[in-house]
Structure 1
Amino acid sequence: MSQPTTSGDNRKRGSVRQRGNSLQVRVYSGIDPVTGKPSYLTETVKGADKAAKKRAERVMTKLQAQVDQQRSPSTSVTLGYAIDEWLRTADIEPTTRHGYEGYIKRTIRPALGDVPINKLSARTLETLYGALRRCRVRCVGKPFIEHKTEDEHDCEKAKCKPHKCTPMAASSVRQIHSIISGALNAAERWDWITSNPAKVAQRPRQTPPQPDPPSPAQAARLVEKAFELDDAWGTLVWLVMTTGMRRGEVCALRWSRVDLDEGIMEVRSSYTTLRKIGREKDTKTHQMRRIALDTETIVLLREHKKRCQDLYETLDVPWNEESYVFVGTRGELTKPYPPDAVSNRYKKMATRLGIKTHIHALRHYSATELLTAGVDLRTVAGRLGHGGGGATTLRVYAAWVAAADRKAAEILGSRMPKRAKLDDDEMQ
């Protein structure tokens, strides 16, 4: 049910309508010059009682102010508006966009959303980053209760707790910096500001990668347990272990991309889910790669393919080479094994074995075993699908590359011609 604003001048500029247990505030911001369609700013307010309606009125005033800023000189637009416009035009993967929206809603908009972009400085941004590294909710250091809801409630029933400062991870602060920088880069391109302060603002240092692969003994226990549980599950774990594929890549793998005669597998896409809806997308580096398969892996995949074909025949469904290698957990032949289900099942299996690890650690296992065996860096990078010609591989697995380098030095030294040792008389 829509409830237009009551003031005469603002009556046509916005409305508040109830959507379930929330109120949606909607303000008209003009005609989009590209699409020619009406454009609106919207924001949701939780609750539908009197207190929520008052909050909705305040949100209405804020959104109307943003529209007014849009119509005034461009440099007066707020960071919140600049981010909205950047998100509207930027080419961002849906899963990445979903993550960005969470950071924007929880952190960026409450902190700097109303600040005009021409008032932002490197110091402003660095102050925010420092505050987040001390406490993710940017508290003032005084004790207070973290309420579960903004409406009137019983704190004991709602299980409200005293605030305890928790610093935001450096990687999350770097992500926030990337979002702000992206929006301000767009503002600079659009001549809204003359320079982007995020370019000179210092962000937290990137935490050095610390891969923690399972030991060979642990890897053997994990793959043995996987085959005990299910032949298809065991084959999936084995394939990830021997190829270093990413979780989404193994879920997106189709039989048409596996040449068992040549022993070659093509990795062309990755599978992801967002709000329980799955879809295929490009690999992380947007590149197709070919991975050679060893004899044992080919045998396992042949056996797995035969089981899949038998299942199709049992269900009286024509075999399709475009079907997924690892299908859904409920036997849904047209859907792949969900990536989250792969992670959860692997985690539970490892926990039962008393091993603290996760599915991505098998990728580390594959890389470190190859490097330790003396396989060259570019080959390992190619199998993993790393970009930068091995630079990423070197950065992540520097310790194992150094160990392989030491091994190479010892091998070369052992093959060098031996120098004749001089006796004491010759030395004198």
Structure 2
Amino acid sequence: MVNKSYRWSNSYRLIVEAGYNTDGKRVKRTKTIKVSGRREAEKELAKFQVEVEAGEYIAPEKMTFYNFVDEWHQKYAIKHLEAKTLESYSYMLKNHIEPTFSSKRLDEIKSLHIVSFLKALEQDGSRKDDKSGGLSSTSIRFIHRILKDIFERAVEWKIIKSNPVSSVKRPKVSSSRVEVYTEAEVSDLLKALQNEPQHWRIMISLALTTGLRRGELLALEWDHINLDEGIIEVNQSLSYVNGENIIKPPKTKSSVRKVSIPEALISDLKEYQEQTISSKQNLADKWEGHPDHFFVFSSWNGKPYYHTVPGTWFRRFLKRNHLKPIRFHDLRHTSATLLINQGVHAKTIASRLGHADIRTTMNIYGHALQSADKIAADTLNALLSPKVDTS
């Protein structure tokens, strides 16, 4: 049944019979829509009737957070979110968000509930991984983002009138000083690498001198390196999603870039390239690399590395050689800091690292930039200071 609603123009109330309840009373499902005319309203009624008869219709006032997340996942997330992002969303939903909100009706969740929930994530025992302490500020901000996104869709689809997360301030991320190597420590690192297998020596050296991300290094192919000009074209990244390696474009448009290789590495790279080509030919049928991708760094049989392999090897290498422990990603930070200390302009560094905005570079490496600026000021101060006549 379609009834014209006189509260708004072009507003119609749809009514569908849904059998009887346990008391023998007739059950009706209703829905108010806004369309251009009665003919369109009749079409919407037909769709509504199918939903009700299939048991797929949930009245907005009875929709739980759990029910809506399922709708959000099928009708929005799968289409609009990248596979890795969706995997991260799903992990946070399952382990942190749904245990608190699953059974709550969507329209009953208020801003105060969100504030209390985010605060609770800071408390000891909220990590869900048997480690002490609460979630990191970065994880809590990520959860805030997930909730805001989900409730935004609920508003857009007219399930609720307002987003309870919109009035909750985005959690601050605790700034931590970037851990990097000094020039002396880099020298010790490079010396220790001389005793390591060639592919690891090349990977660590490239990470240190080009600032490429781990995923960019793992997806690097020989076709992307011009050894005559000393240029690397960064145009893809490798990530591990749902149990398999996925090659995709880098995280932002600015991450697609060309990076110059230090001349001192060119001869090593040429030698390494010859060895990898020879190994591929010698393995013949045992080569299991992708037919369309010849990776610079891979397992002995051509398969791409599992994403945690570089970090695990690097951590053990540092411990074995009694070097200061840093993360594999900190090689990228070290690369940027060394350039800053050499007086390279922040815009050049941002371009080399693939930052979309120079402000990102300034925020991450602000401490190093400030130190370099102090050195520059001291240099100028020496020029301005009156010279003392010692004769």
Question: 2:87, 2:242 within 8 Å by CA — same for their partners in 1?
Answer: no
Identity of matched residues, %:
27
From 314, 339, 350, give the equivalent of 1:346.
314
From 354, 366, 377, give the equivalent of 2:335.
366
**CA distance in structure 2 between the partners assigned to 1:301 and 1:321 by the alignment:** 21
Q: Does 1:82 align with 2:68?
A: yes
Q: Does 1:197 align with 2:155?
A: no
**CA distance in structure 1 between the partners assigned to 2:192 and 2:386 by the alignment:** 53
Aligned partner of 2:276 in structure 1 is 308
**TM-score (normalised: structure 1):** 0.70
Shift of 1:202: 2.8
| Structure-2 change in CA distance of 1:264 and 1:203 (3 Å) | same
Q: Which sits farther off after the overlay, 360-369 or 316-325?
A: 316-325
Aligned partner of 2:297 in structure 1 is 326
Q: Secondary structure at the residue paired with 1:205?
A: coil
| Structure-2 change in CA distance of 1:256 and 1:173 (3 Å) | same
**CA distance in structure 2 between the partners assigned to 1:100 and 1:397 by the alignment:** 29
Map of 1:207-226 to 2, 5 A cutoff? 207-226=174-193
Question: 2:181, 2:334 within 8 Å by CA — same for their partners in 1?
Answer: yes
Alignment-mate amino acid for residue 93 of structure 2: I
Map of 1:369-388 to 2, 5 A cutoff? 369-388=338-357
Q: Secondary structure at the residue paired with 2:179?
A: coil
| Structure-2 change in CA distance of 1:209 and 1:285 (3 Å) | farther
Map of 1:235-246 to 2, 5 A cutoff? 235-246=202-213
Shift of 1:274: 2.8
Q: Secondary structure at the residue paired with 2:259?
A: strand
**CA distance in structure 2 between the partners assigned to 1:193 and 1:251 by the alignment:** 44
**CA distance in structure 2 between the partners assigned to 1:327 and 1:168 by the alignment:** 34
Question: 1:324, 1:336 within 8 Å by CA — same for their partners in 2?
Answer: yes
**CA distance in structure 1 between the partners assigned to 2:261 and 2:135 by the alignment:** 42
Question: 2:144, 2:171 within 8 Å by CA — same for their partners in 1?
Answer: no
Aligned partner of 1:114 in structure 2 is 103
**TM-score (normalised: structure 2):** 0.77
Q: Does 1:290 align with 2:258?
A: yes
Aligned partner of 1:130 in structure 2 is 119
Alignment-mate amino acid for residue 64 of structure 2: T
Q: Secondary structure at the residue paired with 2:141?
A: helix
Question: 1:371, 1:400 within 8 Å by CA — same for their partners in 2?
Answer: yes
Map of 1:28-107 to 2, 5 A cutoff? 70-72=57-59, 74-88=60-74, 89-90=76-77, 91-107=80-96
Alignment-mate amino acid for residue 80 of structure 1: Y
Alignment-mate amino acid for residue 295 of structure 1: E
Shift of 1:165: 7.0
Question: 1:263, 1:298 within 8 Å by CA — same for their partners in 2?
Answer: yes
| Structure-2 change in CA distance of 1:189 and 1:266 (3 Å) | same
Shift of 1:81: 2.2
Q: Which sits farther off after the overlay, 219-228 or 359-368?
A: 219-228
Q: Secondary structure at the residue paired with 1:197?
A: coil
| Structure-2 change in CA distance of 1:274 and 1:226 (3 Å) | farther
Aligned partner of 2:35 in structure 1 is none
Q: Secondary structure at the residue paired with 1:279?
A: strand
Shift of 1:381: 0.8
**CA distance in structure 1 between the partners assigned to 2:212 and 2:243 by the alignment:** 23
Question: 2:63, 2:105 within 8 Å by CA — same for their partners in 1?
Answer: yes
Aligned length: 335
- What are the Cα deviations for residues 337-358 of structure 1, in whole angstroms up to 9, with x where unaligned? 3321111111111121233212
Structure 2 gaps of 5+ residues are 1-21, 23-46
Question: 1:249, 1:269 within 8 Å by CA — same for their partners in 2?
Answer: yes
| Structure-2 change in CA distance of 1:87 and 1:223 (3 Å) | farther
Question: 2:154, 2:160 within 8 Å by CA — same for their partners in 1?
Answer: yes
Q: Secondary structure at the residue paired with 1:214?
A: coil
| Structure-2 change in CA distance of 1:165 and 1:244 (3 Å) | closer
Q: Secondary structure at the residue paired with 1:297?
A: helix
| Structure-2 change in CA distance of 1:192 and 1:326 (3 Å) | same
Alignment-mate amino acid for residue 233 of structure 2: E
**CA distance in structure 1 between the partners assigned to 2:248 and 2:182 by the alignment:** 32
| Structure-2 change in CA distance of 1:208 and 1:404 (3 Å) | same
Q: Secondary structure at the residue paired with 2:134?
A: coil
| Structure-2 change in CA distance of 1:224 and 1:87 (3 Å) | farther
How large is the RMSD of aligned CA atoms in angstroms? 3.3
Q: Secondary structure at the residue paired with 1:357?
A: coil
Aligned partner of 2:9 in structure 1 is none
| Structure-2 change in CA distance of 1:405 and 1:264 (3 Å) | same
| Structure-2 change in CA distance of 1:214 and 1:180 (3 Å) | same
**CA distance in structure 1 between the partners assigned to 2:327 and 2:88 by the alignment:** 22
- What are the Cα deviations for residues 19-49 of structure 1, in whole angstroms up to 9, with x where unaligned? xxxxxxxxxxxxxx7xx99xx9xxxxxxxxx
**CA distance in structure 2 between the partners assigned to 1:379 and 1:240 by the alignment:** 17
**CA distance in structure 2 between the partners assigned to 1:384 and 1:420 by the alignment:** 42
**CA distance in structure 2 between the partners assigned to 1:270 and 1:220 by the alignment:** 29
Q: Secondary structure at the residue paired with 1:126?
A: helix
**CA distance in structure 1 between the partners assigned to 2:131 and 2:144 by the alignment:** 24
Question: 1:224, 1:234 within 8 Å by CA — same for their partners in 2?
Answer: no
Q: Secondary structure at the residue paired with 1:210?
A: coil
Alignment-mate amino acid for residue 353 of structure 2: L
